[in-house]
Structure formats: C-alpha cells, structure tokens
Structure 1
Amino acid sequence: MAYVSVPKDLTKVKNKLAFNLTKRQLICFGIGAAMGIPVFFLLRNVIGMSNAATIMVLVMLPAFMFAMYEKDGQPLEEILMNIIRVKFLRPSIRKYETENYYESDPDKADSDSTNEKGGKKRV
C-alpha cells in the first residue's frame, strides 16, 4: 500500500504553479530576470563575460532574496519593515510615565481648605 506524507500544519502548504514554484517566486524571479539579463547584455562587451555575469548575479540577488527568504512565516519585506519600524520610526528610549494618584487626589484640594476639626480655615 502506498503512503502519502501529510504535514501536520496545513497553513504551511503553498500552492505551486509552475516548475514547483509559487506565484510569488515566479513573479520575483521574473523581475530579477528583467533586471539582470539586460545588464548582462549591455556589459558583456565592455567589461568581459565573467565580470558581466557577476554583476548580473548581484543585480538579480535582491529579487531572489525576496522570492525565497522566509523566517517564522514572514517574507523578507515584512522582516525589513519590522527592522525599519524598530530602528528608525519608533523612539529607541521610551519614557516610563505614570500618573501619581496622590498628586491627582480630588479630596486633597478640599482638605487644604478645612482644619482638623472639619471646619473651614480662616484666612
């Protein structure tokens, strides 16, 4: 009898479109190819084949990272947005501010104007 492995967490299962790649991966690889291939053909006669291929790979690398990198279920753009939010957009030192209950006591204002016996003070 044939056995089929079924993952315990079905939320991690992703639909594959073509070449065993997801839609996100196909789009990112297409963007990378659209950026890298013209760079290669423009630079191969100027700086040589191996240097042009190296520059093409470096140009395509960000698109490849956006397609493939995922940590804790978050893609690379969410991780980068979290880093930017923590490092640049939010203050690094947060003030710990509390409201002092005794400074905001409404009975304190009344107690200043009365004497110990409960009567009004004379001014």
Structure 2
Amino acid sequence: MFRAVIVFIFICASQSAFAQFLFGPSERPTLAACMAIPENKVWIQTVTRQLRERAPKLNLGRGTVTIKFHVDFRGRVTRASLSNYDNNARALVAAGMITSLKLTPPPDDMDTDCRDFEQTFNFH
C-alpha cells in the first residue's frame, strides 16, 4: 500500500512538471516580456499613445477612474470593467474613451495576456 501511495504521488507530481515543460510556466507575462518583441512593443506604444491623446478634458470635478480592458485579435476593446471610480459621470466618460479606441489588430503571435491593459484617468 505504501508503495502505491508513493507511486501515485510521483505520477501526480510528474504530470504537472511535464505539463509545465511542454506548455511553459503558467504565470502571466510581464510588460517587459510583452515588449521584448519589437512588433509587440510598437503596438503597445500605439495603444498607450491613443490613451494619452484621449485623456479627459472635461471639468467633472476632481477624481480618478480606473478601467481594465482587453483588446481582441481584431483590435476591438472587449471585457472592459471599471475597478475604481466614485462618480458615474466620470466613469461614463472614461468608458467612452476606452470603447472608442481605433486600434489596429495586434501582431498575430502576440500572447493574449499581453493584450490586457489597465488605465487610470485623472480628472481635475
């Protein structure tokens, strides 16, 4: 019985190690890893430039809005979610800026996790 338990533990442990060997680590890539490929870097810089250009210019009072969003393989913003806001008007303005982004499709070999963004808009 003891040998069966030991064999079972080795089989379970080896499967996860083998899966990690085949598919790589299960951690999300960092921004540095995403920008290591020149095509990815150019595309990410395009996204951040458009976000800066769309910075809110309305006087809606002081506050911040943080939005997390994903860009699909066609360059469309999907899965946008507000994570930090204290005023619905500011949240609607920020969400409108994010959803109106006109992005080119990301590079074909770009990792899905590299297309996740988080943007904080500061209102003055």
TM-score when normalising by structure 2 = 0.25
For CA contacts below 8 A with separation 6 or more, give which structure has more relative contact order: 2
Higher strand share: 2
TM-score when normalising by structure 1 = 0.25
Higher helix share: 1
Greater C-alpha Rg:
1
